[in-house]
Amino acid sequence: MGGMGGAGPFGRGGGGGGAGFDAGDIGDLLGNLFGRGGGQARGPSQSTFGRGADLEADLHISFLDALRGVTTSVSLVSDAPCIDCQGAGTAPGTSARPCSECSGRGVLDENQGFFSFSRPCQRCQGSGRLIDHPCLSCSGSGVTRRPRTVKVRLPEGVKDGQTIRLKGKGAPGRQGGPAGDLYVRLDVEPHPLFRREEQHLRVTVPITFAEAALGADVRVPTTEGDAVTIRIPEATRSGRVFRVRGRGVPGPQGRGDLLVAVEVTVPTSLSAQERRAIEALRDAATSSPRDALGV
């Protein structure tokens, strides 16, 4: 299932010295590397002329898909290479010719005394090419705005709020420049039973007073769909946490644990037999939990 992404040009300056990851189609995990504030520069360390804009999109995924990894897609509306001319800007069966003004170099040299300057060619706007027969779909720009779908492969254990960078999946470059990157921000749906605590998972399991008092083997759900059995010793207090090793969040450093908090429940309705049994328990009590309070 793809999440709809509202994508737009994203004004990231190309000036920063960020480490560039190359991952092709695979999302590389930049995690929380980027703080929201502070204007940290993302992306390539050099600003490339004609490079397409970086885009941003949100991707909504389920809790379990975030744990086990998933290949999905994100839909967005953005500039994309024109289908009809494959981004060339020329009408079918025609091609661009080198600019006569700058001999296809895109720049013109200007001599001023001892110095020589280069300035972009006005005629071809720095592209070095002239299009006599522009593509009708894109008016020769090579770019059209349309909905498109980008495949995203998420590794196991991704987190809510994490940003995945898809290199070269942003807006197409202009005049032969490279495409920008697509930053996919993950929005992970909460789970009704499990809660994430870094690499661990937490689940709350109700137990009866009798199980807490006498001890019991209790079945606990896992995110794999099976159940594990934990042994609760006698005199277990409500809220005690048991650890099931290796059933937490998968990740590069191995799996975290499943933390099971037991919660002693009070029955909301009693059969006549249960009522008699509990009254018998009350009457048999030799001490009160309030003895320590001295009242």
Where does this chain bind Zn ion (CB under 5 A)? Answer: 82, 84-85, 99, 101-102, 121, 123-124, 135, 137-138
Residue 112 C-beta: closest distance to Zn ion, Å: 20
DSSP letters along 70-89, please? EEEEEEEEEEEE-TTTTTS-
Between 90 and 236, CB nearer to Zn ion? 90
Q: Strand runs (DSSP E) across the chain, as ranges?
A: 3-5, 9-10, 28-31, 54-61, 70-81, 97-98, 107-112, 115-120, 129-130, 143-154, 163-166, 182-188, 194-197, 200-207, 216-221, 227-232, 241-244, 258-264
Distance of CA 99 to the CA centre of its chain: 44
Residue 224 C-beta: closest distance to Zn ion, Å: 49
Between 129 and 165, CB nearer to Zn ion? 129
Distance (Å) of CA 262 to CA 173, 226, 250, 254: 56, 19, 24, 26
Q: Which two tokens stand for residue 201?
A: 């998972």
Between 94 and 204, CB nearer to Zn ion? 94
Residue 123 C-beta: closest distance to Zn ion, Å: 5
Residue 21 C-beta: closest distance to Zn ion, Å: 31
Between 128 and 170, CB nearer to Zn ion? 128
- The residue behind tokens 């995203």 is 152
- How many Å is the maximal CA-CA distance in the chain? 110
Between 99 and 218, CB nearer to Zn ion? 99
Between 121 and 164, CB nearer to Zn ion? 121
Q: Are 154 and 164 in contact (CB under 8 A)?
A: yes
